[in-house]
Structure 1
């Protein structure tokens, strides 16, 4: 019993020490940033991100720090990570746009039609948990309809239509929840970390089709060994080596 108590106290003490270190590092990193000691601030923010990789604020501050260090690739990467954790955050979006405006020979994004843009926004801005809750509510609604039918409160004439609509909404919510979860947990984006990185039509091609600037955000596709399929902001699809990019 004494050994168990000692273990619990040691474990609790470790957790408290970690929490204390996190708070101390956060305050110190912010202070270093305010003092324009950006390299030291970056080092501490990186440690904090390793301790708590689900905190969008840490990646936002890292993006700001790398921007001050004129490291466009890492600035974009950390803003993208922050935006993945906190989609729709205006401050993150604005700082990301400002940083991307500094990319030399930037590849302009192709404009999506309104429906595609709406679909991307709705799946990015709403969490998978929200869609799951809405799915459960819809499912409970269908159970309620079945109970009301059994009690004879709902007319049989409208029951098929109401049930069909409820099932349709339930399926839509489930699909949106799955897509939102994939967008958040999956590595579907990458950021080019080396300037003038070669872009090929396929891994076997000897000559590059184009050279992609550092800081460009690409959409990742299938992988083939040391290669990954990518889609550029302007819609072109090709292959790049994994070593020239970092996953968001």
Structure 2
């Protein structure tokens, strides 16, 4: 009975993949014919099956860009970039889409040690740092055993130096892994979808207006109260806006 269920599950998955491939090709054909709205419909049908890929989000963003849909195009370019963070074509198209936004927000740059530390931390994913730490554990144990069982003083010295160095690197890798995890957990980007959003100083309609944002602007969500979201801009400004005005770039 279990084998039958596995076979049926496999056939269903295979059929779903085949159907999604057909929808993707149909969407590409419609896009090439200039039927961007219809292409979007095909691409979104694939998303409805909980399947996603960088190519799918990229094509969906391109279609929205052709229709001058600022917020959706930036949103889906950002989603594509989450899956393919080093893709130059996605980055270039995202830059073009951002040129359509109204808000000109300066970025407060990191300087000195903070910039270097963050640069190294973001050079690898949390999983990559964790894997590096595991490898260094094995290296440390191996070199320590070599030191313990070695007979010659020369080999003992080399094994001791190597094990000490691997232990130090292990601690560094763990530190960067935990730092990367903490930064990723705090990172909650979102895109403003409202054509114009009035950002409040407090999470209620009676509070004063702090500033306004327009569609396509990227923000960081730092807190939430009911249907209000506290956002922070790249220039350090903070305020509250309705959760309906933004769409969060949730992780996969």
Q: Give the TM bin, normalised by the shorter chain.
A: 0.7 to 0.9
- How far apart are residue 207 of structure 1 and its match? 1.4
- How far apart are residue 184 of structure 1 and its match? 6.3
Q: 1:130 aligned to 2:131?
A: no
8 A Cα contact 1:190 1:218, kept in partner: yes
Matches within 5 A, 1:89-238: 89-113=87-111, 115-152=113-150, 153-155=155-157, 159=160, 162-180=162-180, 188-204=188-204, 206-238=207-239
- DSSP-derived class of the 1:154 partner: helix
- How far apart are residue 163 of structure 1 and its match? 4.5
Matches of 1:82 and 1:181 in 2, distance apart? 21
8 A Cα contact 1:107 1:233, kept in partner: yes
Go from structure 1 to structure 2 and tell me whether the alpha carbon gap of 1:5 and 1:140 turns closer, same or farther (over 3 Å shift): closer
Matches of 1:116 and 1:85 in 2, distance apart? 26
How many residue pairs were aligned? 244
Structure-2-length-normalised TM-score? 0.84
- How far apart are residue 182 of structure 1 and its match? 6.3
Q: Which moved more, 1:231-240 or 1:206-215?
A: 231-240
8 A Cα contact 2:202 2:208, kept in partner: no
Matches of 1:107 and 1:154 in 2, distance apart? 58
Q: Which moved more, 1:116-125 or 1:131-140?
A: 116-125
Quote the residue 1:74 is aligned against.
72
Go from structure 1 to structure 2 and tell me whether the alpha carbon gap of 1:112 and 1:102 turns closer, same or farther (over 3 Å shift): farther
8 A Cα contact 1:110 1:233, kept in partner: yes
User: Which one of the candidate residues 55, 59, 62 is aligned to 1:61?
Assistant: 59
Q: Which moved more, 1:32-41 or 1:13-22?
A: 13-22
Q: 1:241 aligned to 2:242?
A: yes
- How far apart are residue 39 of structure 1 and its match? 0.6
CA RMSD in angstroms, aligned pairs only: 2.7
Go from structure 1 to structure 2 and tell me whether the alpha carbon gap of 1:179 and 1:191 turns closer, same or farther (over 3 Å shift): farther
Matches of 2:169 and 2:202 in 1, distance apart? 41
- Give unmatched runs, 5+ long, in structure 1: none
- How far apart are residue 220 of structure 1 and its match? 1.6
Quote the residue 2:21 is aligned against.
23
Matches of 1:170 and 1:145 in 2, distance apart? 13
Matches of 1:34 and 1:220 in 2, distance apart? 37
8 A Cα contact 1:87 1:124, kept in partner: no
